[in-house]
Amino acid sequence: MGYLGTAPMLTFPKNIYFESNKSTFIDIEYSSTYGGSGFGIAATYLLGTGRTWNNEIGKLEIYIINKSDLWINNVEIGNSNSAIYQNDNDGHFALLLEDFEPIITDQIFIKLIDYPKFDDPMWGIKSGNFPLSEKKVSENWLRFLTLDQLRKVRNSVFAFHGYGFKSEYLKDYFSSFKWYEKDSDFTESVFNNFEKMNLEKLLEYEESLKIRFDS
């Protein structure tokens, strides 16, 4: 566990023998409680020890599997911003870095939140802090979401304006938010341009993932 900008102080040394002219695969598994990060929580992994290896690491592949109800808000890999991202399966994400050489304090930092990305638990979105009404969402904003989370984000636009959901699942989900109020006079004419663009983008992104996962 760790905090943003601070490398974990606890390390677990491991002796590994690398046989000449052969590939050596290292599988490391450990469990830890989450650390804190602002209003969210964090999972970190100390990466900088790779600096002590002979020659450059070269290629780094990171696989993240999210089976929880937590929302991945961001993933940082040291000071690098050149990772190639791929959504391999629902809740399975991959990051690839070429020609990678870490500094000793580098870490993989995964920032998570236990509330939806469209919500504002401190002020409430009815105060006007509803992101999908104010700007166009980017693929970076969506990239670490599961299909279920994407569906919730898309339908949050309808919930924000009081749509009465026919789906029991969505009805129960949005009824748990204090700001949600059903409006019997709801029409889609209330959507502003950002909301229309975001609904189109979200549906398009959702469908592209479904096709990829089914193929």
- Is 59 in contact with 100 (CB distance < 8 Å)? yes
- Is 44 in contact with 109 (CB distance < 8 Å)? yes
Torsional sign, CA 15, 31, 148, 123: negative
As a dihedral over the C-alpha atoms of residue 115, residue 117, residue 122, residue 125, rounded to 10 degrees, the angle is -120
Give the model's pLDDT for residue 3. 38
- Is 42 in contact with 111 (CB distance < 8 Å)? yes
Give the model's pLDDT for residue 48. 74
Running DSSP on this structure, what letter comes out for residue 29?
Answer: -
Closest CA to 116 of 186, 160, 48, 69: 69
User: Which DSSP string corresponds to 99-120?
Assistant: EE---TT-EEEEEEESS-TT--
Give the model's pLDDT for residue 2. 38
Q: What is the mean pLDDT of each run of 10 residues along the chain (215 residues)?
A: 44 75 76 70 80 72 87 83 76 84 84 85 66 87 90 95 96 93 95 96 91 77
| Alpha carbons 72 and 13: distance in angstroms, whole number | 29
Give the model's pLDDT for residue 108. 87
Domains of the chain, each with CATH number or no CATH: 1-114 (no CATH), 125-214 (1.20.58.1690)
Give the model's pLDDT for residue 200. 96
| Alpha carbons 3 and 44: distance in angstroms, whole number | 8
How far, in Å, are 28, 91, 148, 205 from residue 73 at the CA level? 24, 13, 15, 17
Per 3-state DSSP, what percentage of the chain is helix, strand, and coil (rounded to 5)? Answer: 30, 25, 45
Give the model's pLDDT for residue 157. 95
| Alpha carbons 162 and 148: distance in angstroms, whole number | 20
The model's pTM: 0.79
